[in-house]
Amino acid sequence: MLPELYDSMFARKSVRKFDPAPLGADILGELTAFMNDLVPMHGEIALEHVIVPGNDVRSPFRPKPPHYILIFSEPKEGYLVNAGFMMQQVDLFLSHRGIGSCWQLIPRPTKHGRQSSSLDYIIAMAIGSPAEPVHRQSRDEFDRKPNEKITSISGMNEIMDAVRLAPSGMNTQPWFFTGDATGMLHAYCTKLNPLLKLVIHKMDEVSVGIAICHAWIAISHLGNVPEFLIDETARDNPPKGYYYITSLKFS
């Protein structure tokens, strides 16, 4: 499935207009099977993803999408980044299948929706048949920071081009990557002032997980084998205004 996920990074868009009709049982079955095989960033963190009807989520959006995927997780170190990393694989799969999707921080599951899991609720993804184009026609349609604003690396353009196009909460792109072309990539997240941290910290770390997913897919597409690790030097020397998340070593 990796080639399809790679291609989807360069055409996907967040869909906000959905056909209210539910997705077919065959599509939902295919999606469920795909989610059962997601690659985790932190395999020791329990994560659950549950497809629920649109009415199981309180949302200001009208009309509601026919379905949401609710994401639940153990609240362990790295769990938000792990959730973003895993569920971006789903976002790209849905784009490949022509199904609309959109990450949703504001909507909250109803009491019935929360009973879908005993783990902590993290975030939702709206899904359904799109009532607007599900793909972009060119990369020029992406409103994103240039590479020089998100990385100090030279020589990894194919990887960083994929990272640049990753979706993020309010399109803030709260990440920065350092490293070198010898096979090491370090990911960082924007530091927030205390007030903003209370409001959007969750989405920022989920967003960085999404960007790391794009890097991981691009690295794999180039024929490399990425491995997650903690690099103490990178951790202790973050760029100004950022804090360390993880490193990817590949060869």
The model's pTM: 0.95
- Looking at the domain assignment, is residue 110 inside a domain? yes
- Looking at the domain assignment, is residue 137 inside a domain? no
**Residue where one domain finishes, among candidates 103, 128, 153:** 128
Are residues 152 and 123 located together in one domain of the fold? no
Are residues 96 and 9 located together in one domain of the fold? yes
Which residues are CB-neighbours of 188 under 8 A, at least 6 positions away?
175, 176, 177, 178, 208, 238, 239, 242, 243, 244, 245
- Looking at the domain assignment, is residue 20 inside a domain? yes
**Residue 1's pLDDT band (cuts 50, 70, 90):** low
The average pLDDT across 8-34 equals 96
**Residue where one domain finishes, among candidates 81, 101, 128:** 128
Are residues 111 and 208 located together in one domain of the fold? no
- Looking at the domain assignment, is residue 136 inside a domain? no
**Residue 45's pLDDT band (cuts 50, 70, 90):** very high
Burial bucket for residue 235 (CB in 10 Å: 0-12, 13-18, 19+)? middle
Are residues 187 and 105 located together in one domain of the fold? no
To the nearest whole percent, how much of the chain has pLDDT over 90? 82
Are residues 122 and 184 located together in one domain of the fold? no
> From edge to edge, which strands make up the β-sheet containing 184-190?
175-180, 184-190, 242-249, 227-229
Tokens of 215: 């890097």
Whether residue 227 has pLDDT greater than 80:
yes
Which residues are CB-neighbours of 237 under 8 A, at least 6 positions away?
none
Alpha-carbon distances of 87 from 17, 35, 56, 67, 204, rounded to whole Å = 20, 8, 19, 15, 15
In degrees, rounded to 5, the angle at the alpha carbon of residue 161 between the alpha carbons of residues 197 and 208 is 20
Indicate the Cα dihedral angle 228, 162, 170, 64, nearest 10°: -100
**Residue where one domain finishes, among candidates 101, 128, 155:** 128
Q: How many domains does the chain contain in total?
A: 2
246 and 212 Cβ atoms separated by less than 8 Å: yes
Give kind and range of the element (H or E) at residue 249. strand 242-249
Q: Is the dihedral of CA 160, 166, 171, 175 positive or negative?
A: negative
Tokens of 131: 């009532």
In degrees, rounded to 5, the angle at the alpha carbon of residue 204 between the alpha carbons of residues 201 and 210 is 150
Full domain range(s) for residue 78 = 2-128
CATH number of the domain encompassing residue 16: 3.40.109.10
Could you report the per-residue pLDDT of 165-224, keeping only the tens digit for each?
A: 999 988 899 999 999 877 999 999 999 866 655 556 688 999 999 999 999 999 999 999
CATH number of the domain encompassing residue 161: 3.40.109.30
